[in-house]
Amino acid sequence: MTGLPFPSVRGESRAPEGTVGLPDQLGRVARDLRVSVTDRCNLRCRYCMPAEGLPWLAKPEMLTDDELVRVIGVFVGLGITQIRLTGGEPLLRRSLVDVVRRVAALEPRPRIAMTTNGIGLDRLAQPLADAGLDRVNVSLDTIDPQEFADLTRRDRLHDVELGLKAAAAAGLAPVKVNAVAMRGINDHSVGDLLQWCLDRGYELRFIEQMPLDAQHGWDASTMISAEEIRERLGERFELTPLPAADRGSAPAERFLVDGGPFTVGIIASVSAPFCAACDRTRLTADGQVRNCLFSQRETDLLGPLRAGATDEELAALIQGEMWRKAPGHGIGTADFVQPDRPMSAIGG
C-alpha cells in the first residue's frame, strides 16, 4: 500500500495454535470493537485536529461497505459483542444507515453504538435507530456558543443541540454526552455543561485529554486532570462515588449528582489508566486492526482481503494483532511515543 497519510508500522504476529476468541498474553479478552468508518470530519476540535491541512484517506484505500461488513462479521465470529461506530465523523459516511442495518443482521447480533459530534443527527437519528443502532454518545464540550466555536473552530453548536434532541426522541437512550476540558477554553464552564445535561436527562462523561492530536501539541502540564474536573464540579454539585464494582471494564468512574438519580462520569484515561481491564480492539477505515489507541504497530486486513484471504485467514491475522497487545499505554513514561495516526484516523 502506498501514499497513506498515516505511515504506522505494519507487522504481523501470531497467536498460539488453537486460540479461541481474542485473548492477549495477559489474559484480557477483546469483546468491544471500535470501527472508524471514515477519517473525515466537519469540525476541527483543538484536541484532535489541526486548524487545517490534515490529508484524508483516498477512497480506494478505504474498506467498501461489503468489505467493512465482512470484516465486522469476522470479528463477531471471534467473540465481539459490542460494535461502536466512530471516526472521524461517522455520520459523514453516506452509507451509514445501510451499514448499521447489515451489522444488525449479523449472528449473534452485536449491540451497536456510535460516537458522533451530532451534526446531522437531527435527520439521521430515527433512520439509524430503525436500522438497529442501540445507543449514541454525542461529543459536546461546552454549551457556550463562543467557547464551542473556539474549541471546534466551527459555529455549529445549534446543530449539535438538535442532534441530541433527535437522538432522545428516537429512543437512543440513555443519550450520553462526551466532553473534554481544555485549560483556558472550556475548563471554567464544566459545571454549566453538567447542569445543562441534567436538565435534559443526558448522561455526561468527561474524559482527560490524551496525546492523540494530529499536530502533536498535547502537554501533560496543561491537561485538565480527572481530579481537577471532580474538584470543579464539586464546587457546585454534591458528588457521591458509585461503587467501583459496578464499573467492570467501563472506564468511567461514576458519581451520583446531588443524591441522584442522575450521574456524571469522569474518565482518567491518562492519570489513572484502565488498561488492565481493557476489552477493546479497533478497526480503521483503511482496514487496519489496532489492539490499542496508542499502538505503534497495526495489522493490515485490506491487502490480504483484496488478495483473496478467507475469513479464517483474516481471523488469524486479527488474533495475532490482539495477542501482542501491550500491558498499558505508557503515557508519561520516558519511552512513550505518540502514534502516527491521530485520534480522528484511529477512531475514538
Pairing of strands 32-36, 280-283: parallel
Question: Can residue 113 be called a binding residue for ligand SAM (CB under 6 A)?
Answer: no
**Contacting ligand SF4 (CB under 6 A), which of 23, 87, 120, 273?**
87
Residue 44, binding choice from ligand SAM, ligand SF4, none, Cβ under 5 to 8 Å by partner class: ligand SF4
Name the residue nearer to ligand SAM (CB basis): 76 or 223.
223
Question: Can residue 128 be called a binding residue for ligand SAM (CB under 6 A)?
Answer: no
Interaction with ligand SAM in 58-87: which residues (CB under 6 A)? Answer: 86-87
Min separation Cβ 141 and ligand SAM, Å: 7
Residue 213, binding choice from ligand SF4, ligand SAM, none, Cβ under 5 to 8 Å by partner class: ligand SAM
What is the full DSSP assignment across 86-116? Answer: ESS-GGGSTTHHHHHHHHHTSSSPPEEEEEE
Site size toward ligand SF4 (CB under 6 A) is 12
Interface mask toward ligand SF4 for 40-79; x: CB under 6 A: -x-xxx--xx------------------------------
Residue 49, binding choice from ligand SAM, ligand SF4, none, Cβ under 5 to 8 Å by partner class: ligand SF4
| Pair 324, 25: CB distance under 8 Å | yes
Query: Residue 129 carries which side chain, given as an amino acid letter?
Result: A
Cell readout for 41 is 470530519
Region of 263 please: left (phi>0), alpha (psi -120 to 50) or beta: beta
Counting Cα atoms < 13 Å in the Cβ hemisphere of 269 gives 19
Is 8 a known ligand-binding residue?
no
Name the residue nearer to ligand SF4 (CB basis): 44 or 183.
44
**Contacting ligand SAM (CB under 6 A), which of 38, 178, 186, 299?**
178
| Pair 194, 264: CB distance under 8 Å | yes
> Greatest CA span in the chain, whole angstroms?
59
What distance lies between CA 183 and its chain's CA centroid? 22
**Contacting ligand SAM (CB under 6 A), which of 8, 38, 116, 288?**
116
Query: Residue 123 carries which side chain, given as an amino acid letter?
Result: R
Taking Cα atoms as reference points, which of 124, 72, 57 lies closest to residue 95? 124
Question: Can residue 189 be called a binding residue for ligand SAM (CB under 6 A)?
Answer: no
Residue 70, binding choice from ligand SF4, ligand SAM, none, Cβ under 5 to 8 Å by partner class: none
Site size toward ligand SAM (CB under 6 A) is 20
What's the rounded Cα separation, in Å, for the pair 346 and 284? Answer: 6
| Pair 40, 92: CB distance under 8 Å | yes
Question: Can residue 251 be called a binding residue for ligand SAM (CB under 6 A)?
Answer: no
Residue 131, binding choice from ligand SF4, ligand SAM, none, Cβ under 5 to 8 Å by partner class: none
How wide is the angle at C-alpha 340 spanned by C-alphas 181 and 8, nearest 5°? 145
Name the residue nearer to ligand SAM (CB basis): 214 or 289.
214
Q: Which range of residues in 113-121, 166-174, 232-240, 324-332 is near ligand SAM by CB under 6 A?
A: 113-121
Contacts 24+ apart (CB under 8 A), 271-275: 271/208, 271/225, 271/226, 271/227, 272/226, 273/328, 273/329, 273/331, 274/249, 275/327, 275/328, 275/329
Binding footprint of ligand SAM on the chain (CB under 6 A): 41, 47-48, 86-87, 89, 115-117, 139, 178, 180, 207, 209-210, 212-213, 343-344, 348
Binding region for S-adenosyl-L-methionine: 47, 88, 139, 210
Binding site for ligand SF4 (CB under 6 A): 41, 43-45, 48-49, 87-89, 117, 139, 344
